[in-house]
Each structure stands twice: as structure tokens, then as C-alpha cells.
Amino acid sequence: MADKKPERKASESGQFKLNLVGFKQGDEQPRVVLQAMGEDSKPFFTEPVKDDGSFGLSADVLKRAHRIVLGSMAGDSEVIDHDSAIVFRPAQFAQQLAENGVLNISRNWWERWFWFTYCVSGHVRHCRRRPWWYNELFQKVTQSALENALTINQAELFSFEVASPRNSSYVNSISELIFWPFRCDTICYGTVEVYRRTCCCEPWVIDDPRLPDLIRDLEHIVERIPQVIPSKIPSPPPPPPDPEKMPFFKNGSLDIMSVYAVRDLQVIRSLPQSAIAEYVNAREYLLCRWYSCGKPQKVAQGEINPDGTFNICWSEFPRFLRPGCSDEFAYVVKQTIGGTTTTIYDGIAANIWFSPDADADLVSYSTKAFSCSDTGNPDKDAFVYLDLIGGTESWQLNTPSAAGWDRVVLPAANSGLLFPMGDGNGVTDRNMGGGVTLTFNFSEGMKQAAVGAHYYRVSVTEADASGNPTGSREYYQDGLSWQKAVWTGTGIDIVPENLGPFTVGTNNFLYTIPFESNADWTGAVRYHAVIDTTKFANQQHLVTLEVFDAAGVRLRPLGTLATGQPGSEVAKPFKYRRWFQQGGLPGDDTVEVPFGAMTHLFWWDNGAPYAKIDALVRNGVVFNYECLFFEGSPTSTFGIQYHAYVPNQMFQYYHTIGWGRGLYSVYGGVGTLLAASNVNVGYPDPPTPGGFSPTDTFAHMLDTGGDASRTKCSFVVNLTTYAKTTNGDDLSYPHVTSGAAFALEINQP
């Protein structure tokens, strides 16, 4: 039924006044607008209310109107904001004005017409994790403990990492892995979309009724995560899927709830009812679930600053929240490169929310993200040092001090190896192998006119036992390009910049120094050289860096002796430095290298791990038939004859031998013949015969004590050898496995 149209009565002039009840002298005056809306809910008449409260409204407008709306507009909007609107029927509006032409509005309403400025801020980073990290994360997240494999003590109950896996291959917990000290690059361009939701999250209590919903949500997450059953049988894990396709990554963001879902579900099912509430309350991602929050609404967006920060503000009406409720913000980061827009971070999908006053740290793991990294030190002092070996900081290299521009002092037994004090798993003296990337830190002072550094060159020579170069010098000479961001009229393009090699003057194999101020460098390639160690002998080598000016003249630090190499050479005010200790320790972390070039000692060895089961052994007798069914007594013994080694025993991490009975992945029938040994066995093969493993009894392997009727079963035995080899990027351990199947039966007393 249509609303009754008003009759024309008082205020024939069509002039009226708005009275803000409770308004005091000196109070700020809100900006108020009156609009007449048609049947289509669109305004056909707009009248701003003057500072004295007066406004005009003709009888014709009032007659045509379907609704009269009073309120305030947002920004450039042509319609009154819904949250500020007071909506009248025309007859109702006319009736309130009929007596004296004054419309009274209570303070509770007109205070909503003020616009408030809200701001959020933060920074955006891109953490390009190494392959081993994704492998570790996949293993830890997908590892499903057997029902009796999880033992929780009181000290662990309320730690963040309650149920860390017991067979971690590199780090001890998911938390440690997530916060592993990788360098992250700055996301220096892109758009940040700001989303807000209102949550009313009540703390959990004992016997909280929300528990079934939480368990259901965790079960749904776990169902989507592939499960890997832990086993004592040493077999290599399957390769992890594409990081972008892992269920715990959402559009480049790490979903913490998915990461911890398996552990949290196990713990919650294991805890007494009295402890569940405290466990959940300690974890924001479990406490504040979607059903406690409203639907996310986009409220603003802004651009990322060159330093990776963002500060985004918007105006809206004041928000009134009931007690126990609060606003939370999530962010979506997008980059438009070459006309294609890609989401590189999605806090909504990953359920990552921040308080309004938080300095939001947005970390993208997307392989499609483009970031800008520091390619040098902004310090005006002129210096250069070796920064990274792969992804490993160079202070982890056990290199002797330099004894000249091309040599080092007498090497120790483990000189040239990585991690002399141990990696994250406590493994020391890791040899390098494969392609080893080198990244140098050139300070901006090297670019200044006083020094004029423009090119660099990297070379390799074999080292003798005294640390001196021997044999011919090999120069790095592969093509090398970095990517840079170029701003165009329509956005950003990523273009390559060729760094070399060039021939300048009489010197070959020179590469342009990509100073930070030269461009907005981006992309995955940020190294200055990559050494293919497979082209060299398995021994210690000397890696040398030289610096040249734009004319190809070699530069050496002031006060150093000439190198004596062919070509022109001149002394300039800069220093070569060697990073020798971890950052943050007392004193300078680098030491001067007082020579005309800078040389480090590296030891690479590409000797592969070797594992082979030669034969199976019963009661000391060797059997090497294809199909073996062993009979014996409860005290009969089983073992293997095998080869397990890395050509240089120093670089064997360890080898291990384990067995599994029948469907061991379900019933848990596993055991160990050899837990771990780093001693080579049967090297080389041939001609060296294989060694013999420790043994286990038939009774123990069949577990007749647990089930007296189980007197026979099939088995598998696996031998795995691990090497220490790393390229500084992949910190996992190369390994190879050999397996065999057999059956045991106890049919003798």
C-alpha cells in the first residue's frame, strides 16, 4: 500500500530548521544533508543543511518523495551514508515540521553525523624459503602420529608447540621452522586492500559448548591434509608438493590453523576437559573462530611505499561496539605487473587478523611475488664483503684468514666447510656441492667518485695443503641478468638487466656491480656468481673477488701491495672485509682483508652417498637368493650384509638400518638394527666386501611376547645413507636407500 501523501499546512515558504538537541556553544558542527528519494530509492533532490540549521524543502518535492533521508555523505558520494541515515516517511516528516517548522534531532543521533578518521599501518615482506624448508614443513604438518605416539607432559601443555614431531630431520618444531632466520625481501610496490570484521570472542570455560564445533573444524582441515605415518624404518620421504598447492598456503599466505591442525586435534582429544579451555584461550587462531565474527567488509585500500610500509586512512562514522566485541583487520596484497594482477598475500583466506593499532607484518610466500631487496649497504664508507653462500650467511664458512690477494694461511682439517659450530640440527663441517651461489655486499660508498667501482670478477683455483693457489685460474663467465621494476604509464613492468660478462680494456669476464641505487631490483636472481662445483675436483679451492672501475682498471685498497696481475691497477680508498662472526655479538662482525683482492677457502665434494644391501644373514650365515623365507627358533638372529658410505667419510652424516613387520604403518611393528653410524662400511664397492649389521632375534621381530600366536610374518628392511653435502640453499641431507623383503617363521623350539 502506498504511503499517504501529506497535506500542505505550516511553513508555506518551504523553509525549515534543524535543531540539534544538546548542541553546545563551541561544539563542532556536523555536515548534514537532506535528500528526497523516489520510488527507485535514488535521490532526486539534495539540500545541504546550513550552519545555522536552516534548510529548504518545497511542497512539490515533499509530494513526489517516497522517503526523506537526513544524514551525512561519505567523501565524493552522492548518496547519504547508510550508517548515518535517519529515514522518514514524507507524511511523518511533514507532521514533525507542522507546528513550528523545526525538526528536533537527539544527540545520540546527530553525533553519528561526524566523520572519524581511521588508520591502519604495517609492512609487507616476501620470504622466499628454500626447498628444504618446504620439505620440512610438509613433513611436520602432514605427519600423523599414531594413537599411542603422543605423550604430553605438564610442562608442554601450554607451550605454543605442544606436539612437536619426534623424528624431526632438521629442526625440532613447527614453530622453530616458521621462525627460522631467513632473510626476507621488501615488497616495495603493490596495493593493500583493508578488510574489517567485528568479533565477539568470549574466553573459553570448562566444558565449553563450542568444543564440538572446534573439533569438527579441525577434522575438516585434517581431512584435506595428506597424512604421512611416522616410522622408524629409514626410507626417504616423498617430495613435497608445489608450495602454492599445499593446503596450508592460501594465496601466498601461511594459514597457521591449518599448519597446527593435526597437532591441535591430537592435543585437544588427549587433554582432560579441565585443561582444554586454557589451551584454546592461549591460541588466538583457535579462540576467535568465524562463527564469533561478522562478515569481512572492505573499508579501504592504498599503495605500498618504496620501503615496504603502508599507512592507509579513511573516514567514516564512529563505530559503537558492544562490550566484549572488537574490530579486527585483514589485508589482501595485489601486484599488477605487465597488466596482470596477482594476489600475493590473502589474510582473509589464511585467517590472519590484526588489531587496529597493530603494526601488521604481512609475509608473502608466493612464488609469483616481486620484491625489492637490499643489494648493498647504504653506508657511505666504501667496502665489500662476501654476504651469502646460497642462503647461508658467510660467517658460517670456516675460511682461514687471507695471506695474500690469492691465498690463505695454513688451513685446518675442516677449513673451507660450512657450519663449523653446527647447523640447526647440530651437524658440523658440511661440504659444499652442486651449484653454489655467491652474493657480495657492495656498499654505496664503493660507487662514489673517490672509489669509482663499476665491475667485479670472480675466479677459482685449487688450493694446496698450505692454502696457496695451484693450477690454472678459472673465471666465472656465465651470462648473468637481474630483473628490475620499471614504472610505466599504466603500471609496472619487470625487465631484465644484463650484468655481464663483459670485456673492458684488457680484462675479460667482468660483471657490472648492481648497486642498490642503480634500480629497483627484484626477482629470484640476486647473486653475483654461481660456481658449478661439479666441474672441479673434490677438494679445497680458493675463490677470489676483484673490483674494477668503469675503464676496466683493477682497484685495490689504499696501503695494499699490487697484485702483480696483468693490466692496469690503482689504489683507491675502500676496504675488502671478511664476515667472521654472527651479527649481534660484541665488536665488529667483519675484519679487514688488507690485500689487493679478497680470497676465501671453500671445500666442495660431490661424492654421492651409497647404500646397498648385499645379502640377508640368519644366525651368521649369508643368504643372497631373490626370495628368502627364514625358519628358526625364538633366539635365531637376523641381520644384513651391506655397503654404506660417502667416498670421503668425513662427509657422511650417518647411515641407519631399520625393519618393518607386515602392515607396520597401521600396527606399528617396527624396529632398528642400527640406529646411526657415520663410519663408512665396505668402501669402495667393489672390491671391498660389505660389512655386517647388528642383529635382532626372531622373537623380538615377531613380537611373540605381545601376540603368542604370531609365529610368522613378512618383513621389509631398509638401509639409508645420508651425506652432509649442501649448496648453502638446500640444507637437507642427500640420501639414498636400499631395501629388501623377506619372511620369518618360528617353527623350532
Does residue 11 have a pLDDT over 80? no
- Most confidently predicted of 267-271, 678-682, 726-730: 678-682
Q: What pLDDT score does 711 carry?
A: 95
CATH of domain 15-114: 2.60.40
Residue 593 to residue 575: CA distance in whole angstroms: 7
Q: What is the percentage of the chain residues whose pLDDT exceeds 70?
A: 89
Q: What pTM was computed for the model?
A: 0.74
Q: Per-residue confidence at 113, pLDDT binned at 50, 70, 90?
A: confident
Q: Per-residue confidence at 360, pLDDT binned at 50, 70, 90?
A: very high
Mean pLDDT of 483-490: 81
In the numeric block, which cell numbers belong to residue 442?
657492495
Domain assignments of the chain as residue spans, ordered by start = 15-114, 122-334+350-364, 383-604, 610-746
- Domains 15-114 and 610-746 agree in fold: yes
Q: What pLDDT score does 172 carry?
A: 55
Mean pLDDT of 240-249: 70
Chain-wide mean pLDDT for the chain? 86
| pLDDT per residue as tens digits for the range 695-717 | 999 999 999 999 999 999 999 99
Q: What pLDDT score does 374 carry?
A: 63
Q: Per-residue confidence at 388, pLDDT binned at 50, 70, 90?
A: very high
The CATH number for 610-746, chosen from 4.10.860, 3.40.50, 1.25.10, 2.60.40, is 2.60.40
Q: What pLDDT score does 154 carry?
A: 33
Between 129 and 571, name the one with better pLDDT: 571
Q: What pLDDT score does 430 carry?
A: 98
Q: How would you class 165 by CB atoms within 10 Å of its CB: exposed for 0-12, middle for 13-18, buried for 19 or more?
A: buried
Q: What pLDDT score does 730 carry?
A: 86
Does residue 662 have a pLDDT over 50? yes
Q: What pLDDT score does 379 carry?
A: 61
In the numeric block, which cell numbers belong to residue 15?
523553509
Mean pLDDT of 35-58: 91
Residue 125 to residue 144: CA distance in whole angstroms: 31
| pLDDT per residue as tens digits for the range 428-441 | 999 999 999 999 99
Mean pLDDT of 51-76: 88
| pLDDT per residue as tens digits for the range 189-223 | 899 999 999 998 888 888 888 888 888 888 888 88
In the numeric block, which cell numbers belong to residue 364?
608473502
Pairing of strands 402-404, 185-186: unpaired
Q: What is the percentage of the chain residues whose pLDDT exceeds 90?
A: 55
Does residue 348 have a pLDDT over 80? yes
Three-state SS letters, 344-384: EEECCCCCCCECCCCEEEEEECCCCCCCECCCCCCCCCCEE
Residue 400 to residue 416: CA distance in whole angstroms: 8
* C-beta of residue 359 within 8 angstroms of C-beta of residue 394: no
Residue 176 to residue 182: CA distance in whole angstroms: 12
Between 315 and 643, name the one with better pLDDT: 643
Q: Per-residue confidence at 52, pLDDT binned at 50, 70, 90?
A: confident
Q: Per-residue confidence at 166, pLDDT binned at 50, 70, 90?
A: very low
Does residue 146 have a pLDDT over 80? no
Mean pLDDT of 414-437: 93
Largest CA distance in the chain: 119
Q: What pLDDT score does 533 carry?
A: 98
Does residue 472 have a pLDDT over 70? yes
